[in-house]
Amino acid sequence: MLGDARTEHLARWARHYRSRGDTVWVASAQDGLSVDVSLRLPLGRGAVGYPLLVPVLRRIIAELKPDVLAAHYLPNYGLMAVLSGFRPHILFAWGSDLLVLPKRGLLQRSRLRLVATRGQAFLVDGQVLVEPLVRLGAPAERVYVCPFGVDDDVMAAGAAPRTVHLESPVIVSTRRHEPSYQLTDLLEAVARLDDGACDVRLQVAGEGTDTPALKRRAEELGITDRLEWPGHLCRSRYVALLAGADIYVATSPSDSTSVSLLEAMGSGLAVIVPDIPGNREWVDDGRNGLLYPSGDVAALRSALRSLLAHPERRRALGDRARARIERDGRWSHTVRRADLLFGQLVNH
């Protein structure tokens, strides 16, 4: 497996195949925080350095003789996999590599086009990623949709009776603190709630480069007394955070299938998320969650006020959200589909 070893996405796949008894080597240019790195790649020159690592990758492949190469994130590790010439390989797209990077100039588009036209098989986590990948030149029959689903621990916690907080409802955010996620929209919306919702509690989990700026903005808005910053959470505390909340909010203007959203739905939370294609694949507005126009703080505030005022509606939305994940979004379903694809590639 090739990928950024700091990410939980890569770690989940590595854990799955190791738990089956497969031998999994993880090669990464980043130190592992979420997964053990078998082979540390000597990356230099920033993002432009990935193609320079291809000779190193070829030597690793010649020594290890793997059955399949799985590369996560198309314009860097996916590019390395394609340039290595090794087959069978499967390339994982995560969302921003197809929804955001092509807008950042000719170099990124050229790298992605090379990967799209020469990749053997692609696994994407949402239908919203198929068209951009095909537009770059990938044959549609090589693109497989497989959402990165919800683990059993979240589903089990969501099956337990949920406490609905009537006096001090809890709003939770679990996305990384990066400018691209626009978490200031959530702070602004909470600050503009009317006096009847002043006892609301907001938990902004996670960390990132934007954490100091977010905390400063919360002070400017005068909402620090309502805020908690749990930071980076271990798995058990993360599951408990979801189980103890009432409403999940995301504000990112660009997403494919957000695992954070699916986990919130699987835990039985009422969700409020931007009205973008990736979210619409999972949220039926007014039935199993609420959608609002991306970037519209007033609309987000209105959606929050509606759910804060009607606890029974929160419960109904959360129950239907969990049912949707039970049917279509479990991690066990994800890996079964992926296992079939891996088997086809290896045995082809």
- Is residue 112 included in any domain, yes or no? yes
Residues 296 and 181 in one domain: yes
First to last CA, the chain: 20
Residues 210 and 322 in one domain: yes
Q: For the domain that residue 322 is a member of, what is the CATH number?
A: 3.40.50.2000
pLDDT in tens, 303-335: 999 999 999 999 999 999 999 999 999 999 999
- Is residue 2 included in any domain, yes or no? no
**Residue 46 predicted with pLDDT over 80:** no
Residue 152 banded pLDDT, cuts 50, 70, 90: very high
Structure tokens at 307: 């759910």
- Is residue 1 included in any domain, yes or no? no
Question: What local confidence, expressed as pLDDT, does residue 303 receive?
Answer: 97
Question: What local confidence, expressed as pLDDT, does residue 289 receive?
Answer: 98
Residues 185 and 321 in one domain: yes
**Residue 54 predicted with pLDDT over 80:** yes
Closest of 110, 106, 58, 116 to residue 85, by C-alpha: 58
CA distances from 151 to 72, 123, 155, 232 (A): 20, 19, 7, 19
Residues 160 and 284 in one domain: yes
pLDDT in tens, 183-240: 999 999 999 997 555 589 999 999 999 999 999 999 999 999 999 999 989 899 999 9
- Is residue 284 included in any domain, yes or no? yes
pLDDT in tens, 229-284: 999 898 999 999 999 999 999 999 999 999 999 999 999 999 999 999 999 999 99
Domain range for 70:
8-149+331-347
Residues 82 and 204 in one domain: no
- Is residue 3 included in any domain, yes or no? no
Residues 13 and 143 in one domain: yes
Residue-level length of the chain: 348
Residues 94, 278: Cα–Cα separation, whole Å: 12
Helix (H, G, I), strand (E, B) or coil at 228: strand
Question: What local confidence, expressed as pLDDT, does residue 47 receive?
Answer: 64
CB atoms within 10 A of CB 202: 24
Average pLDDT over residues 33-47: 77
Residues 175 and 266 in one domain: yes
Residues 165 and 261 in one domain: yes
CB atoms within 10 A of CB 135: 12
